[in-house]
Amino acid sequence: MIALIPVRDGTLPAGADEACAEASGHALLIGSGTHAAADALTSLRHAILAEAGDYAPAAWATALASHFRSSEPPYVVSSPPAHPGGQPYNSLSAPTPTPGPSTGVVHTPGQLWITDKSPGQGLILPASPDGRDLAPRIAFALDIPLLAGAIEIHRTGARLARWGSKTMVDVEVDGPFVATLVPGVRTVERASENTREKLNWPEQDAQDAEVLEVLPPDPKTADLAEAPRILGAGAGLTKNNGKEAIELLEKVADALQASVGATRVVTDAGHASYQRQIGTTGVVVDPELYIAFGISGAAQHIGGLGAPKHVVSVNTDPSCPMTAMADLGIVTDATALLEELAKEITHE
Amino acid sequence: MSEHAGPATKTATPSTSAVTFDVVVVGAGPAGSAAALELARQGHRVALVERGAFPGAKNVYGGVIYGRILDELIPNWWEEAPIERWVTRRQTMLMTPTQSLTVDFRTENWGKPPYNGATAHRAKFDAWLASKAEEAGAELITSTVVTGLLTENGRVVGVRTDRPEGDFKAQIVIACDGVNSFLAKQAGMYPDGQVHHTTLGVKETLALPRETIEERFGVSGTDGVDIELVGGTRGIAGGGFLYTNLDSISVGVVLSLTELGKAKVRPEELIADLKRHPAIAPLVKGGELIEYAAHLIPEGGYKTMPKLTGDGILVTGDAAAMCLAAGIWLEGVNFAIGSGMYAGRAAAEALSNNTTDLSGYERRLHESFVLADHRKLKGAPELLLGDRVQNKYPAMICDLVENLFQVTNPEPKPGLRKLLRRGTKQHGIRLRDLAKDAITGFRAYG
Amino acid sequence: MLIVVALRWIESLTSGLGAADECALEHALRLAEQLDAQTLAVTAGPEPAEAVLRTALASGIGDAVRVDLTEDETDDGSRVAKALADAIPAPDLVLCGDHSADRGTGATPAFLAAALGARQALGALSLTWDGKLLVERRLDGGRRERLAVGLPAVCSVEPADVRLRRASLPGLLAARKAAITVHKALSTRDDRITVERTRRFSPRTRRVPPPEGAEPHTRLLALTGALAEHDPPRLVHPADAKAGAAELLAYLRQHGYLE
Ligand SMILES: Cc1cc2nc3c(=O)[nH]c(=O)nc-3n(C[C@H](O)[C@H](O)[C@H](O)COP(=O)(O)OP(=O)(O)OC[C@H]3O[C@@H](n4cnc5c(N)ncnc54)[C@H](O)[C@@H]3O)c2cc1C
Ligand SMILES: Cc1cc2nc3c(=O)[nH]c(=O)nc-3n(C[C@H](O)[C@H](O)[C@H](O)COP(=O)(O)OP(=O)(O)OC[C@H]3O[C@@H](n4cnc5c(N)ncnc54)[C@H](O)[C@@H]3O)c2cc1C
Ligand SMILES: Nc1ncnc2c1ncn2[C@@H]1O[C@H](COP(=O)(O)O)[C@@H](O)[C@H]1O
């Protein structure tokens, strides 16, 4: 198995390291600034770098597919310049087949993929916005199945999150497949060293959207990203009177010297600003204390949560993922509890 | 029933884009669906307008439906209605915070056709009844709120809804919009434009495995239990109930709004009280809360009913305060179905005869159980919501029984008369009042 | 110009439509008004799925096509996309939801773009037309990106910003009787995938990195957590909110978050 990681200007997408770890440290980085991006991959053991320029999912998919398909290495692999900080690149003048990782993928330098029907040939992308863009296009171009939104991937299949992470489905695949791994689902083992090689990238005629600009994260999110204590608002807290609930939560947060975060359901409903959204497509936080009010604990939310020392979940559902991962799970109505808490804390 | 209608509040005239039906029925609760079903069956163009996303989406009630009236509307309804359990066991429990006295009745007869009472979820039951109306040809229009009546020369000629171009024109409007009926008020059917005598019903649905319910309540298959609770509401006028569904139970209280306001307790606390009561706790133990709901109940009975027929409009069900909420009875669905059905019939009759005369509605109501029961029980609400029945009698009776069963050796056993005297005195009840209430009771229920 | 909106019918939802699909529908209507374009709603599913097409027609969509697939057959997004692409005549723009409420992968729109040979813009937060299609979408880590998208294109939208308009009463009644074209679907069953089982979600076990420490003994102690102070997770069912708040306060005090 190999991770396929789209890179923009040397920036890794959310979940890149986990995808790489899931593929036992093997990754193909594609895009712009792949060298620098590889430096930031802690689990990387072996990298193939494809400097393919600006993000272009359709064009990349077409080119990668023909590359993966061919039995002969179609592109000349050049000796890249030495990269400071990184490991020396492989010399590829005399490609010697190296045994694949234990997962069974056969990997030859310069030849990424052998499309016979043998199992264990998984292509793993992070389920980040860019990864989710690219994965279906590659699966389509290769005409192989896509296992989207996986929380665990193995040689012959994956475990997929469905219904907003309320259920999970185990699927098995006969033959090669593409999968996307939800960020935040696993820990990342650090690799001691890595090797790199470079893949020449052909001219491509794009059928892609044109990127006009990338807007940086709102500076207002900085306080949340750094906050040591966070109270999180979920749909279970805001479903009846969202505005009031958030105001109360802010009051309680003040008293506890904490910040207020929210799930995407809450920000989408307009109860809290987007800068408050915690998760893979929101702010990535790493507090010491996280108190979740009416949050189900979808993988995309947990994916931005870091590793809090203390987690409390207030939820009417005793077996939702958020409560399952909490140190203290309180099974009760979140709004009512918050009201009581406000009374108590403002007394103090 | 009030003979004098109050003034109608402001109404509009239909816009030119209005869509036309013979009849518009407002509200797809049991009353509305029954009315629409009757009309559609007789070939009239009827629109059934419901504000919820589907019929029953937000409707709340305790949980027991008495099906006799359905016999007339949908023969063999029990073969297809979405029923949870058939009530074969009825209990009335008098309680104080520490005591309870239960009258327990069970009969096999209620567990087979044509059955008596059944527990059902309103979301399913209301949707089912509305689907019968749709099958018969009624147009069910959901997610649509009726916002007002349309009138021409004082006659109701349709309704306005919150949809763009949302006017309906119709020859007859049937208001089945439930308690606090905005339409009945707007049509001036309530004497002073105000609905009185509503109580608040709140209930929790608790999930429990089917086998657990069967074990705890001593029933099997699809048999079920209906328990009415008297006296467990911290002195606030009202009562409680506990019903078994297939794999959940409903526990709730019905409370006087004014007293609730004065007592400054939250209804949830009263349900929590009930669930902790020694007689109830073992029944609800381990139940996982899956729903909490609250709704008003018109509880004034016959004396508080509005005018039922207006010019071009009929009022039915809870909208007409036809819910019978008198202590051991909490019946509204059957009265809603009955009145809706008769309203549908009367409207069909008027349409077929090409008249605007809707007097057939009240005639049918008087001939049937709908108004007969209400007339008979018209004194019951006052009696039942009074302080003595609510607070003093349950405590007195429980003490009486406790003393009766308590072994007091070496003292001799006290006589019943002595206990009664002691009990009434201790609970501040004058024997004269007891006798008076007994007579009222006999008149009301007898 | 033809604007198509692809709607996924979900039986367990009252309206049949997920929030994102409702937004896609509204965007389609707005763009069509602005560009004076023709509109078509399409769904792949069994007959009851026509409910969502009628919702679309009632809101003002011009035409409707149902691609006849059983509910099971719509499990696979790539298959759905192929069937949809086969059924819709050369659209200029296809609007989809960012993710369906059930499967929720958001992959179908990208498959559809691939099958149609169109450009894609996924997860749009806003969608405007200014001589060309301008899209703003979320990237990770709170960043956003603005795209100019040439046609033909498939664009999926997040359930944000817009709300589906209310259908007019005459529109609603007319939609009930409107004709819906039924398209026989391509047979593209993918028998390479087998679903083993479906369960309640539980997070993946986290692998703990090997502990530091010179001695095997200390490493072992560290691994078992014998040295660290550690409370086992607790699940409490408080009698009421007050008791729940008390639990929380006690916890906060115990761990030094409160005096
Ligand atoms: C590509 C993608 C990216 C995403 N990115 C993010 C992201 O960055 N951040 C994010 O948060 N989400 C993200 N999501 C959405 C995510 O999948 C979930 O839908 C979302 O996190 C769920 O939010 P929630 O827990 O508030 O709502 P729900 O999942 O609806 O959960 C509500 C919870 O409240 C509980 N509850 C209900 N009533 C009560 C009550 N009275 N008292 C207490 N509890 C109650 C329920 O039991 C439930 O557990 C993303 C999704 C996708 C597809
Ligand atoms: C807690 C509780 C327990 C009860 N227990 C029982 C019991 O066990 N057995 C029993 O028989 N009865 C019981 N009842 C009473 C019973 O619920 C009612 O009497 C019955 O529902 C009345 O039916 P209806 O059709 O008149 O009104 P509803 O059922 O209230 O229906 C009215 C319908 O109109 C719709 N509507 C209202 N306004 C508008 C508008 N402006 N535009 C469009 N639609 C509108 C509503 O959404 C609703 O669907 C109980 C009630 C409560 C609150
Ligand atoms: N069966 C279907 N018919 C029509 N459109 C669909 C179907 N399934 C998915 N879609 C579209 O693809 C979007 C994303 O769905 P999904 O890939 O399931 O997350 C949905 O919001 C729809 O717009």
Q: How confident is the model at residue B415 (pLDDT cuts 50, 70, 90)?
A: confident
Given CB atoms, is C227 within the 8 Å cutoff of chain B?
no
Q: Do the beta carbons of residue B353 and residue B330 sit within 8 Å?
A: no
Q: Are C108 and C80 in contact (CB under 8 A)?
A: yes
From chain A residues 246-265, the ones with a CB under 8 A of any chain B CB are none
Shortest-distance ligand to the CA of residue B60: 2
Establish if A170 touches chain C: CB-CB under 8 angstroms.
yes
Domain A2-70+112-198: CATH class, spelled out: alpha beta
| C-alpha to C-alpha distance for B437 and B235, rounded to whole angstroms | 18
Q: How far apart are CA B209 and CA A251, in angstroms?
A: 41
- What is the tens place of the pLDDT at every residue in A210-247? 999 998 877 666 678 888 999 999 999 998 889 999 99
Q: What pLDDT, on the 0 to 100 scale, is given for residue B196? A: 62
Query: Which chains touch A (3+ CB pairs under 8 A)?
Result: B, C
3-state percent breakdown (helix, strand, coil) of chain A, nearest 5: 30, 25, 45
The segments of chain C whose pLDDT lies below 50 read: none
Cβ contacts of C197 on chain A, cutoff 8 Å: 169-170
pLDDT band at residue A95 using 50, 70 and 90 as cut-offs: very low
DSSP string computed for A174-204: SS-EEEEE-TTSS--PPPS--EEEEE-----
B27 CA → ligand 2 middle, Å: 9
| CA separation for the pair B387, B430 (Å, rounded) | 13
**Residue B193: what pLDDT?**
57
Domains of chain C: 2-184 (3.40.50.620)
Give me the pLDDT at residue A106, please: 36
Q: How many residues does chain C have?
A: 259
Rg (CA), chain C: 25
- Here the tokens at position A316 are 């009417």
Ligand nearest to the CA of B126: 2
Place of tokens 């069910």: B140
Interface of C with B in 10-69 (CB under 8 A): 14-15
Residues in C touching B166 (Cβ below 8 Å): 168-169
pLDDT of residue A207: 83
Residue A244 backbone class (left: φ over 0; alpha: ψ -120 to 50; beta: rest): alpha
Is-contact A264 A238, C-beta < 8 A? no
* pLDDT above 50: residue A79: no
The interface predicted TM-score of the complex, written ipTM, equals 0.79
Q: Which residues face C200 on adjacent strands?
A: A167
| Distance to chain C for A29, nearest Cα, Å | 17
Query: Closest by alpha carbon to B243, among B379, B54, B374, B87?
Result: B87
- How far apart, in whole angstroms, are the C-alpha atoms of residue B82 and residue B191? 38
Q: Which fold has domain B19-84+120-190+306-376?
A: FAD/NAD(P)-binding domain (3.50.50)
A331/C148 Cβ within 8 A:
no
CA distance A76 to A161: 39
pLDDT score for C152: 96
SS3 A299: helix
- Among A182, A260, A265, residue to substitute to test ligand 1 (most atoms within 8 Å of Cβ): A265
- Cα–Cα nearest to B108, from B90, B88, B92, B87: B88
- The protein residue whose alpha carbon is closest to atom 48 in ligand 1 is A296
Q: What is the pLDDT of residues B145-171, one digit of tens each?
A: 999 999 999 999 999 999 999 999 999
Cα three-residue angle C146-C148-C151, rounded to 5 degrees: 145
Q: Quick check: A333 and A212 in contact, CB under 8 A? A: no
- Residue C239 CA to residue C234 CA, distance in Å, equals 16
Nearest chain A residue to B289 by CA: give it: A316
Residue A192 has pLDDT above 80, yes or no: yes
Cα separation values, B17 from B71, B161, C55, C168, Å: 40, 13, 21, 11
What span, in angstroms and rounded, lies between the C-alpha atoms of B407 and B387?
Answer: 31
Ligand 2 mean position, distance from CA A36 (Å) = 66
Which among B100, B373, B107, B441 is positioned nearest to B242, based on CA atoms?
B100
Q: Which CATH number applies to B196-298?
A: 3.30.9.90
* B154 alpha-carbon distance from chain centroid: 32
pLDDT at residue B83 tops 70:
yes
- Which CATH number applies to A224-346? 3.40.50.1220
Please, what's the b/e burial string for A298-319 (b: 16 or more CB within 10 A of its CB; e: otherwise)?
bbbbbbbbbebebbbbbbbbee
What is the per-residue pLDDT for C161?
Answer: 76
Which residue, among C91, C17, C86, C82, has the nearest Cα to C56 in the 3D structure?
Answer: C17
Angle of the C107-116 helix axis to the A129-142 helix axis, nearest 10: 50
Task: Retrieve residue A85's tokens.
Answer: 């900080």
CB contact under 8 A, C245 and A337: yes
User: Which atom, in ligand 1's list, is nearest to the CA of A314?
Assistant: 43
Q: Which residue has the higher pLDDT, B176 or B263?
A: B176
Is the Cβ atom of C27 under 6 angstroms away from ligand 3?
A: no
Residue A96: what pLDDT? 38
Give me the residue spans of the domains in chain A: 2-70+112-198, 224-346
Q: How many CA atoms lie within 13 A of A137 on its CB side?
A: 29
Residue B394 in this model has a pLDDT that exceeds 70: yes
Distance B59 CA to ligand 2 centre (A): 6
C45 lines ligand 3 (CB under 6 A): yes
- Please indicate if any CB of chain B lies within 8 Å of the CB of A202: no
Tell me how far the alpha carbon of residue A65 lies from the centroid of ligand 3, in angstroms.
24
A154 burial (CB, 10 Å; 0-12 / 13-18 / 19+) is middle
Tokens matching residue A41: 């991959």
Q: Does A340 touch chain B (CB under 8 A)?
A: no
Q: Kindly list the residues from chain A whose CB atom is less than 8 angstroms away from the CB atom of residue B268.
A: 336
pLDDT at A104: 31
Residues 6+ apart with CB under 8 A from C91: C2, C3, C4, C40, C116, C152
Q: Taking a C-beta distance cutoff of 8 angstroms, is the pair A182, A151 a contact?
A: yes
Partners of C170 on chain B (C-beta within 8 Å) are: 17, 19, 165
**Ligand 2 neighbourhood includes B65 CB (under 6 angstroms):** yes
Predicted pLDDT of residue A206: 63
| Separation between Cα atoms, residue B344 and residue B338, nearest integer Å | 10
Which of C96, C99, C122 has the most ligand 3 atoms within 8 A of CB, as the residue to mutate? Answer: C96
Give the pLDDT of residue B397: 81
Q: Does the structure show a pLDDT above 70 at A198?
A: yes
Contact C166 B17 (CB under 8 A): no
Supply the residue whose CA is at minimum distance from atom 2 of ligand 1: A300
Tell me which chain A residue has its CA closest to the CA of residue C145: A214
Strands B100-106 vs A26-31: parallel, antiparallel or unpaired: unpaired
| Strand (E) or helix (H) holding C1 | none
Q: Which amino acid is at A106?
A: V
Q: Is the pLDDT of residue A72 over 50?
A: no
Nearest residue (CA) to ligand 3, atom 1:
C44
What does the block give as tokens for B130? Answer: 């509305």
Of C36, C46, C49, C68, the closest CA to residue C7 belongs to C49
Contacts of C60 (CB under 8 A, 6+ apart): C29, C39, C165, C167, C171
Q: Do C148 and A212 touch (CB under 8 A)?
A: yes
Contact B298, B256 (CB under 8 A): no
Segment (H or E) for A330: strand A328-330
pLDDT of residue C104: 85
Q: Which of 256-315 (A) contact B at CB < 8 A? A: none
Which of A69-73, A104-108, B185-189 reaches the highest mean pLDDT? B185-189
User: How far is it, in rounded angstroms, from Cα B60 to Cα A162?
Assistant: 32
Which positions in chain C touch A330 (Cβ < 8 Å)? 236, 238, 244, 247-248
DSSP B364-396: HHHHSHHHHHHHHTTTHHHHHHSHIIIIIHHHH
Residues with CB under 6 Å of ligand 1 are A 164-165, 234-236, 263-266, 277-282, 294-296, 298, 300-301, 304, 314-317, 320, 333-334; C 99, 104, 106
* Cis previous bond, B410, omega within 30: yes
B contacts of C176 (beta carbons < 8 Å): 139
Split at pLDDT 50, 70, 90, the class of A184 is: confident
Ligand 2 pocket test, pick from B59, B202, B331 with the greatest ligand atom count within 8 Å of Cβ, gives B59
Cis peptide upstream of residue B113 (ω within 30 degrees of 0): no
Q: Taking an 8 Å Cβ-Cβ cutoff, which residues of chain B contact chain C?
A: 17, 19, 53-54, 57, 139, 141, 144, 161-168, 268-269, 272, 276
Which residue in the block uniquely carries the two structure tokens 């696993």? A186
Confidence of residue A92 (pLDDT cuts 50, 70, 90): very low
What is the predicted pLDDT for the residue at B407?
80
Q: Do A224-346 and A2-70+112-198 have the same topology in CATH?
A: yes
User: Ligand 3 centroid to C112 CA: how many Å?
Assistant: 10
The model's pLDDT over B186-208, given as tens digits with 9 standing for 90+, comes to 999 987 756 567 888 899 999 99
Task: Return the domain boundaries, chain B.
Answer: 19-84+120-190+306-376, 196-298, 386-445
- Give dist(CA C67, CA C72) in Å, integer: 14
Verify whether the Cβ–Cβ distance A318 to B289 is below 8 Å: no
- Asked whether the beta carbons of B104 and B87 are under 8 A apart, the reply is no
Is residue B237 a contact partner of residue B266, using CB atoms and an 8 Å limit?
no
DSSP B178: -
**Which residues of C fall within a CB distance of 8 Å from A135?**
107, 110
On chain A, the residues whose CB falls within 8 A of the CB of B289 are 316
- Residue-wise burial string across B285-324, b where 16 or more C-beta atoms lie within 10 A, e elsewhere: eebebeebbebbbbbbbbebbbbbbbebbbbbbbbbbbbb
Alpha carbon of residue B279 to chain centroid: 25
Chain A residues lying within 8 Å of C202, measured CB to CB: 168, 321, 324
Question: What is the rounded CA–CA span in Å between residue B362 and residue B349?
Answer: 13
State which residue of chain B sits closest to A315, comparing Cα positions. Answer: B289
Please compute the mean of the pLDDT values over residues B331-347 and round it to a whole number: 96
Please give the distance, rounded to the nearest whole angstrom, from the Cα atom of residue C60 to the centre of ligand 1.
32
